[in-house]
Amino acid sequence: LASTKLPNYLLPMYPAVALILARYFSDWKREEIDSGVYSFNLCCRAMGIVGILMVIGVYIAAFLLFEQDQWLGLIGFIPLIGAFVAVKFLDREQRHRVLQTLGITAILLAILIVGIAPGRIHRYQDSPQFIADARKFAGRAEIEIGTYRYFQPSVVFYAGKKITVLQTPREVADFLADHPYGYVITRVGAHHELRDDLPSNVSELSRHRNFLKRDELILLGRQ
| Average pLDDT, rounded, for the chain | 86
215 shares a domain with 130: yes
Q: Region 124-147: what's the mean pLDDT?
A: 92
pLDDT of residue 104: 95
- Confirm whether 24 is domain-assigned: no
Domain match, 144 and 108 both: no
Closest CA to 142 of 181, 185, 174, 175: 181
Same domain, yes or no: 198 and 169 = yes
Beta bridge partners of 147: 165, 185
Q: Does 143 share its domain with 167?
A: yes
Residue 22 lies in a domain: no
Answer with the one of 70, 96, 122 that is the final residue of a domain.
122
Q: Determine if the pTM surpasses 0.85.
A: no
Alpha helix positions (H), the chain: 6-10, 13-29, 37-65, 77-91, 95-110, 117-122, 126-138, 153-159, 169-178, 191-194
Q: Do the beta carbons of residue 181 and residue 203 sit within 8 Å?
A: no
- Residue 150 inside a domain? The answer is yes
The model's pLDDT over 66-103, given as tens digits with 9 standing for 90+, comes to 878 888 889 999 999 999 999 999 888 888 898 999 99
The backbone torsions φ and ψ at residue 165, rounded to the nearest 5 degrees and listed phi first, read: -90, 115
Predicted confidence (pLDDT) at residue 2 exceeds the cutoff of 60: no
User: What are the phi and psi torsion angles at 218 (to 5°)?
Assistant: -130, 155
Distance of CA 195 to the CA centre of its chain: 34
Average pLDDT over residues 163-192: 91
pLDDT, residue 191, reads: 85
Report the share of the chain in percent with pLDDT over 70.
94
Q: Give how far the C-alpha of residue 7 lies from the chain's centroid of Cα atoms, to the nearest Å.
A: 15
Side by side, the strands of the sheet bearing 182-187 are 164-166, 144-148, 182-187, 216-221, 203-209
* pLDDT 10s digits, 12-66: 888 888 888 888 888 778 776 555 667 778 888 999 999 999 999 988 988 888 8
Closest alpha carbon to 189 in 162, 207, 174, 171: 207
Report whether 163 contacts 156 (CB < 8 A): yes
Question: Residues 118, 133: one domain?
Answer: no
Pair 117, 130 in one domain? no
Average confidence (pLDDT) over 197-220: 87
Q: Structural domain of residue 40, as residue ranges?
A: 36-122
Read off the pLDDT of each residue in 175-190 and give the average, rounded to a whole number: 91
**Same domain, yes or no: 187 and 217:** yes
Are 138 and 113 in a shared domain? no
Tell which of 87, 122, 157 closes a domain: 122
99 and 84 housed in the same domain: yes
Shared domain for 155 and 189, answered yes or no, is yes
Q: Let me know whether 82 and 157 are in one domain.
A: no
Tell which wins on pLDDT, 8 or 88.
Answer: 88
Q: What pLDDT is attached to residue 1?
A: 41
Structural domain contains residue 92:
yes
Question: How large is the angle between the packed helices 95-110 and 37-65, nearest 10 degrees?
Answer: 20
| Cβ–Cβ < 8 Å for 146, 218 | no
**Last residue of some domain: 122, 146, 171?**
122
Residue 208 has pLDDT above 80, yes or no: yes
Helix (H, G, I), strand (E, B) or coil at 130: helix
Angle between helices 13-29 and 95-110 (to 10 degrees): 150
Q: Do the domain assignments include residue 15?
A: no
| Number of domains present in the structure of the chain | 2
